[in-house]
Structure 1
Amino acid sequence: MNFEGFDLNLLVAFNALMLERNVTKAAALAGVSQPAMSAALSRLRRVFDDPLFIRSAEGLLPTAKAQEIAIPVADALGQVRHLMKPAEVFDPTAKQRSFTLGLTEYPMHVLLPALTKKLAAVAPHCTIHVRYFIDRDEVVALLDAGKIDIAVGVPPTKAENRILSQPLLRDDFVTLVGRDHEAARKGMNLQAFLSMRHILVSPEGNHYGLVDQQLREQGLARTISLTLPTMFTVPALLPGTDYVATVLRRVGTTSSRQGDIIMFEPPLALPSIPFDLLWHRRTQDSAAHQWLRGVIAEVGAAL
C-alpha cells in the first residue's frame, strides 16, 4: 500500500462501520451521506483486498480481517482526535446532562440505591433514566443502537471488540429457607437439599438453572415446585412455607425479610457470578461518560 496516497478518512469510515454495523447509521455517525459511506466501503475493500463486512439479517458482520484491524484503527483515530482538540472537561456540579443506564434485576436492587444517592450529592443537575433488560446478550444491541449509555449486568456470552467492559461486582450463591423451616433446626446437606421443594428463579422463563446443570453432572435432580422471573421476591416467599431457594447472597442480605430467613452455603459447588460495567467503544473518550463510569465503579467497589 502507498501510505502517502492513502485517504485517512477511510479509517474514519471503517471505524463507523465497525461501531454501527449498518451503512446508513455509519454514515450518520461519520457525518457523510449514505452513498459516500457505500463508496468508502468499496474503496476499503479494494485497499485491504478483503470484503471486510458481509451483509446478514443482523446487519453487517465483520470478517476476520476487519476484526483484526478494528482495535488498531480505533486506537489510531483516538490518538489523532486527542491531537486535534483539547481534552474535554465535564463538570457534573454545573452541567445538565441525562444518561440512560441499562440494568438487570440484580444491579437495580444492589447497586442503584447507593448510586442514586451518590449522584444526587455530586451531580444534582444530572438525570438518570434506567432501562431494564433481561437477556445478557440484549445489552450488545442496546449499546449498538444507542438506547443505553452504560450497562451493568452479567457479561455477554460472546465478546465483541466494540463493547468495552470492566469488572464491577461478584456474588456467590447461598441457599435460603424460612426461619421456621425444618432445615433451620437440622441443618443442610445434599440429601436434605434434594428432598426439598425448590424455587427456581429464571428471568428467561426456563424450567432449569445452574443448580440443575450442576446436579445433572452428578446424575442427580431436584424437585422444582415454583418458578419465578425475579430473584428479589424470593425472601418474602420463604417464611411459613417449606420452600428452599438457591440465589445470590445479596438477595438475602439486602432483604427487609432478612430476619425471617436462614442462609446456608449450598451443598454443591457453584461458581460465583460476575457483573460487569459495559459501554460502547464510541463513548470511550467522552469526558461525561468517563466520569459516570468512574462514579459507578467507585460505588460498586464500596458494596
Structure 2
Amino acid sequence: MRFKGLDLNLLVAFDVLMETRSVSRAAEQLHLSQPAMSAALGRLRDYFGDNLLVLQGKRMLPTAYAETLMPMVQDTLRHIDAMINTSTSFDPATSQRIFRLIASDYITAAVIAPLSRRLAKIAPNIQLETVLPSDGSSDLIAQGAFDLLITPENFINPGQPAELLCEERHVVVGWNRNPLFSETLTEDALMAASHVGMQMGNQRTSAFADKMMDQMGKVRRLDVMAASFTVVPWLIIETNRLALMHERLARQLATMFPIAIAPIPFDFPMMREMMQYNRTRGNDEGLRWLREQLRIDSKLP
C-alpha cells in the first residue's frame, strides 16, 4: 500500500533499521533476506533523499535527518497498532494476540503465572511475553513497544494512564527453623537480625520495602543484596537471615520452600502495584480484558 508514493511497509523497515542500526539484524528481525533489507534501505534513501544510515568504522549510525524522522515514524506505527488492536469483538477464546508485559519476577510468579495457567483453558492461543523492568521501562511504554508495565506507583510515568492492580502487604520471611519464628517476632529482634536486601537494574534501585525502611529510619544489617525477589529463599534457607517480601509471593514460595512467614512488627505502608499502558491503547478491548484478568489473579486466596 502506498501513501503519497511511499510504500507504508517501509516505515516498519525504517523503525527496525533505526533500532538495530544493522541491515543484517534488521533483516533477521523482519524475517527477510539481507538483500531484501538492503533494497528496502535503498528505497527509503531514494524517497527521503537522505542516506539515513551511514557507515562509520564498523558501525552504522543514523543521520541527523533520520534522527528527526524516528519519533514521527514511531508515533505513526503506534497509532496504526492501536487502530488494529482496537476492536469491539475481541474474543479471548479465539484470539491469537501476543501481549507484551514488563513485570518483576515477583509479579510474574505471583500473578502472571496463575494467569498463564488459566489462559491455557480460556484463551489457548493468546501468548504472553514478559521482560524484567529496567531503567527505561517507562520509555518503552511511551513508545508503544510494550502493552503493559506493572510496577509500584512511585515508578510510573505521570504522562501515561495507569490503573491499580492491587495493594500489597509486606511480611517477614526466614528459614522455618530460624528460632526467631518460634515465638512472636518483635521489632527489636527484627532489627537485630541479618537481612537480605534487594537492588534492581543497572542503577541498583532499592525495592519498595527497603526504600520504605530507609525512609522510616529503620536501619538493618544487610548482609546479602539480591537482584531478584525469587532468589530470596536460597539466601535465607539454613541461615538466620530475614527478608521483607510481598505477601502474595511469600505465600506461594512457602508451598515450595522451607520458609516461615511473620507480620512486620510495626506499621508499614501498603504498596500500590499499578498497570500502566500507552494512552493510544485506551480503547483496546483486548488490553482491557487482560487488565481485568490480571486483577482476578492478583487477589489473595
TM-score bracket for this pair, using the shorter chain length: 0.5 to 0.7
Inter-CA distance 295–212: structure 2 relative to 1 (3 Å threshold): closer
Structure 1: how far apart are the matches of 2:148 and 2:247? 25
**Residue of structure 1 in register with 2:5 after alignment:** none
**Residue of structure 2 in register with 1:145 after alignment:** 143
**Residue of structure 2 in register with 1:272 after alignment:** 270
Residue correspondence of structure 1 range 6-45 to structure 2 within 5 A: 22-27=71-76
Inter-CA distance 209–109: structure 2 relative to 1 (3 Å threshold): closer
Residue 100, structure 1, aligned to residue 100, structure 2: yes
**Residue of structure 2 in register with 1:88 after alignment:** 88
The amino acid of 1:177's aligned partner reads G
2:150/2:274 contact within 8 Å kept: yes
Alignment deviations for residues 79-124 of structure 1 (CA, whole Å, 9 cap, x no partner): xxxxxxx963122223322221221222101111221122222222
**Residue of structure 2 in register with 1:172 after alignment:** 169
**Residue of structure 1 in register with 2:119 after alignment:** 119
Inter-CA distance 268–242: structure 2 relative to 1 (3 Å threshold): same
Residue correspondence of structure 1 range 258-269 to structure 2 within 5 A: 260-269=258-267
**Residue of structure 2 in register with 1:227 after alignment:** 225
1:298 Cα deviation (Å)? 3.2
Alignment deviations for residues 144-175 of structure 1 (CA, whole Å, 9 cap, x no partner): 222211232223546434x2221112211111
The amino acid of 1:23's aligned partner reads M
Structure 2: how far apart are the matches of 1:214 and 1:293? 27
Structure 2: how far apart are the matches of 1:95 and 1:217? 46
Inter-CA distance 207–243: structure 2 relative to 1 (3 Å threshold): farther
Q: Identity of paired residues, percent?
A: 16
**Residue of structure 2 in register with 1:66 after alignment:** none
**Residue of structure 2 in register with 1:201 after alignment:** 198
**Residue of structure 2 in register with 1:132 after alignment:** 132
Deviating more after overlay: 267-276 vs 166-175: 267-276
1:200/1:207 contact within 8 Å kept: no
- Structure 1: unaligned runs, 5 residues or longer: 1-19, 32-85
The Cα RMSD (Å) is 3.1
2:181/2:262 contact within 8 Å kept: no
Structure 1: how far apart are the matches of 2:98 and 2:144? 13
SS in 2 for 1:23: helix
1:198/1:245 contact within 8 Å kept: yes
1:131/1:148 contact within 8 Å kept: no
**Residue of structure 2 in register with 1:14 after alignment:** none
The amino acid of 1:270's aligned partner reads F
Structure number with the bigger relative contact order (C-alpha 8 A, sep ≥ 6) is 2
1:139 Cα deviation (Å)? 3.0
SS in 1 for 2:200: coil
> TM (normalized to structure 1)?
0.64
The amino acid of 2:75's aligned partner reads A
1:179/1:262 contact within 8 Å kept: yes
- Structure 2: unaligned runs, 5 residues or longer: 1-68, 81-85
- Runs of 4+ that moved beyond 4 A: 27-31, 205-220, 256-259
The amino acid of 1:185's aligned partner reads S
2:138/2:149 contact within 8 Å kept: no
1:236/1:257 contact within 8 Å kept: no
